[in-house]
Amino acid sequence: MATNFFYVYALKDPRTSPAMPFYIGKGTGSRAFDHLVTPDATKKYARIKEIIASGAKPMVDILVEDLTEAQALRLEAELISAFGTTESGGALTNAVVPSGLGGKSRTGIVVPQGCVERAQLGLQLLKTAILELTKANPGGIKNADAASLLGLRSDYNGKQKDYLSYSVLGLLMREKKVVRNAATKTHQANA
């Protein structure tokens, strides 16, 4: 049975010739068109509103179909890397660089083109997986549960560390998607 239900799409601004992409995404079903009807506080939606206010309609272009999720994620990352995000001086409004991370760098460290975007796409997948785990367990999960059950344990210098899952849980708490019960030391999806 085929599992290639994913596609990669671009939202394009028809006010330019040729119409230039301002957002690249992956999805299934109606995902590519959902952006046009679901308001949010992103740069992407601000651009959509701007295009509509000018009397035009954003274009939805399905770039590649019949992909596995892994193939779609890889292509999405490559395209975002190629076009760049507005945070990195590029054209796309994709919010792949979380606020507070841009600009923090150590002198002499080279960050190859696209590394940040790929890392942030991977982080988004980790956040989604851990959030789904918390939603599936209303009684809460511990950090060790996320680290063990999702294969996120690290063996750094021979010592087990669960810092990755702690970091992701911390990001989800900051985004108010997860809350921590101090008494039980568990994390629960925020209702």
Within a domain: 101: no
d(CA 84, CA 86): 7
pLDDT digits (tens, 9 = 90+) for 143-172: 999 999 999 888 777 666 788 888 889 888
Least confident window among 47-51, 57-61, 69-73, 120-124: 120-124
Q: Are 23 and 44 in contact (CB under 8 A)?
A: yes
**Domain hosting residue 131, numbered range:** 115-189
Task: Read off φ and ψ for residue 9, nearest 5 degrees.
Answer: -135, 165
d(CA 34, CA 191): 23
Within a domain: 19: yes
Within a domain: 134: yes
User: Same structural domain for residues 70 and 119?
Assistant: no
Within a domain: 98: no
Q: What is the CATH number of the domain that holds 37?
A: 3.40.1440
Q: Name the domain count of the chain.
A: 2
Within a domain: 68: yes
User: Same structural domain for residues 122 and 66?
Assistant: no
Within a domain: 75: yes
Within a domain: 54: yes
Predicted confidence at residue 130, as pLDDT, reads 93
User: Same structural domain for residues 75 and 125?
Assistant: no
Within a domain: 97: no
Q: What is the CATH number of the domain that holds 177?
A: 1.10.10
pLDDT digits (tens, 9 = 90+) for 23-42: 999 999 999 999 998 888 89
d(CA 85, CA 116): 10
